Amino acid sequence: MNTSTKVIAVFLACLLILVGISNLLSDNDQEQHVAKVGKEVISLNEYKSLYQSYSNATSSSETQKKLKYDLLNALIEQKLLLNLTNELDLEVGEESIKDHIKNTKYFQNDTGEFDKNKFNEMLNSLHITEEEYVLKLKRILPAIMFMTSLFKDSYPITYGEEIDEQIYKHRYQTRVVDIIKITKDAVTSISEPDNQTLLNFYEKNKSNFYYPEYRTAQYISIGPKYFEDQVKISAEEVDNVIEQRALKDQRDVLNLVFSTKEKAEKAKKMLIEDKRNFEQVALEFGKTGFADIRINNITKDFLPQNMQDIIFALKEGEISDILESSFGWHIIKIESVHQIS
């Protein structure tokens, strides 16, 4: 790929992720698809429109052929980013969307103030309503915020799963060694070895002189603080999220987990027939106290699906039957029934 094509490809990638383009705002649900990336699709109209916008900047057929691949790759990367932000459950509030629209230079007049007429002209050119535009921004802005939090000046370079796998293997590699301790009392008179003897000894025991390999790696940790100054959310929006995700009703529980069903049945017998309390049973099975088995503020969707209705049907102080999950066998006591604070 020549230099001009590389510049176009990099510019396009930045444009797709950090700015957003008009074909992102079009409804492509009913159109023919070029590719599907997870839950995201690349429509034929979206790809054609993008190609037509940039094909005039190239001349040779070879360059145009390369451009087609570059554009498709850029679209795929964009869809992968949208998939990622959906998986991370990133959202933006109405205030953030308003600020984004007001700060978009294309919608501002010569004095830098928001111009409603310019905004309406854009909506008319795209043949969409203001409500539709806002809905599309809700989908795109999390990706914009995600990328600008990580990469302020340039488009990111990814290294791929192969490098990640190598780093993981080197990070968690192990060594098995045999250690023989010889005290000074066991050493009698030994003559000083010559160079050849030392060399022979080294060649024979070369593997014993190897040390584990190490790697220096850099990583990025993303937490809520990266988005705090970019997101504004009203109390009403918070209430809506709580309602939609069933976060309102919560429980504080004591959760005993056993590796076998037999151990769980033994613990249940101690609770029911022997009248022993939950803490005594926990100590009997190696727990140091309630701190090891207490889980606070759990919501229904926190639990495995087969436990959700059972646990949330219990009243305060009640103890469940033996329940099975991928972690083992559980006996759960409800300490507190409350709503989100």
The DSSP string of 280-297 is HHHHHTT--SHHHHEEEE
pLDDT score for 262: 92
Query: Are 138 and 277 members of one domain?
Result: no
Confidence of residue 132 (pLDDT cuts 50, 70, 90): confident
Distance CA 159, CA 143 (A): 20
What is the distance of C-alpha 117 from the center of its chain?
Answer: 40
29 versus 325: the higher-pLDDT residue is: 325
Taking residues 51-73, report their average pLDDT. 74
Q: Which helix (H) or strand (E) holds 338?
A: strand 328-339
pLDDT score for 137: 85
Q: Which residue has 């002189």 as its token pair?
A: 209
Parent domain of 8: 3-150
Residue 334 lies in a domain: yes
Confidence of residue 321 (pLDDT cuts 50, 70, 90): very high
Q: Identify the CATH number of the domain in which residue 315 sits.
A: 3.10.50.40
Taking Cα atoms as reference points, which of 107, 109, 110, 152 lies closest to residue 133? 107
Query: Are 25 and 142 members of one domain?
Result: yes
> What separation, in Å, do the N-terminal and C-terminal C-alpha atoms of the chain show?
57
Say if residue 264 is exposed, middle or buried (CB neighbours under 10 Å; 0-12, 13-18, 19+). Answer: buried
Q: Identify the CATH number of the domain in which residue 62 sits.
A: 1.10.4030.10
Residue-averaged pLDDT of the chain: 77
* Domain finish residue from 125, 150, 175: 150
pLDDT score for 155: 46
Confidence of residue 7 (pLDDT cuts 50, 70, 90): very low
Helix, strand, coil percent content, the chain, rounded in steps of 5: 55, 10, 35
Residue 224 lies in a domain: no
Distance CA 27, CA 133 (A): 11
Confidence of residue 322 (pLDDT cuts 50, 70, 90): very high
245 versus 12: the higher-pLDDT residue is: 245
9 versus 260: the higher-pLDDT residue is: 260
pLDDT score for 48: 78
Asked if pLDDT for residue 21 goes beyond 50, the answer is no
Query: Are 129 and 258 members of one domain?
Result: no
Residue 282 lies in a domain: yes
Residue 201 lies in a domain: no
Taking residues 197-209, report their average pLDDT. 87
Q: pTM for this structure? A: 0.35
User: What secondary structure letter does DSSP report for 191?
Assistant: P
Which long-range CB contacts under 8 A does 78-82 form with residues at least 24 apart?
78/13, 78/16, 78/17, 78/143, 79/37, 79/38, 79/40, 79/41, 79/42, 80/37, 80/38, 80/40, 81/17, 81/143, 81/146, 81/147, 82/40, 82/139, 82/140, 82/143
Query: Are 255 and 145 members of one domain?
Result: no
* Domain finish residue from 121, 150, 179: 150
Phi-psi category of residue 289: left, alpha or beta, with phi > 0 → left and psi -120 to 50 → alpha: left
Token pair of 87 as six digits: 């998986």
Query: Are 8 and 138 members of one domain?
Result: yes
Distance CA 23, CA 12 (A): 13
pLDDT in tens, 142-200: 887 777 766 655 544 444 566 667 767 777 788 888 888 888 777 777 788 889 988 99
Query: Which residues touch 298 (CB under 8 Å, ≥6 apart)?
Result: 250, 251, 252, 253
Distance CA 25, CA 132 (A): 8
Of 32-36, 81-85, 98-102, 291-295, least confident by mean pLDDT is: 32-36
Question: What proportion of the chain, given as a percentage, has pLDDT over 90?
Answer: 6
Helices 61-87 and 44-55: angle between axes, nearest 10 degrees: 130
Cβ contact 340:250 at 8 Å: yes
Residue 155 lies in a domain: no
Give residue 257's identity as a one-letter amino acid code: V
Range with top average pLDDT, 131-135, 145-149, 206-210, 288-292: 131-135
pLDDT score for 181: 85
Cβ contact 35:41 at 8 Å: yes
pLDDT score for 5: 43
Query: Are 144 and 255 members of one domain?
Result: no
pLDDT in tens, 265-282: 998 999 888 888 888 888
Domain count, the chain: 2
* Domain finish residue from 103, 124, 150: 150
pLDDT score for 161: 63
185 versus 119: the higher-pLDDT residue is: 119
pLDDT score for 164: 61
Asked if pLDDT for residue 249 goes beyond 70, the answer is yes
Asked if pLDDT for residue 8 goes beyond 70, the answer is no
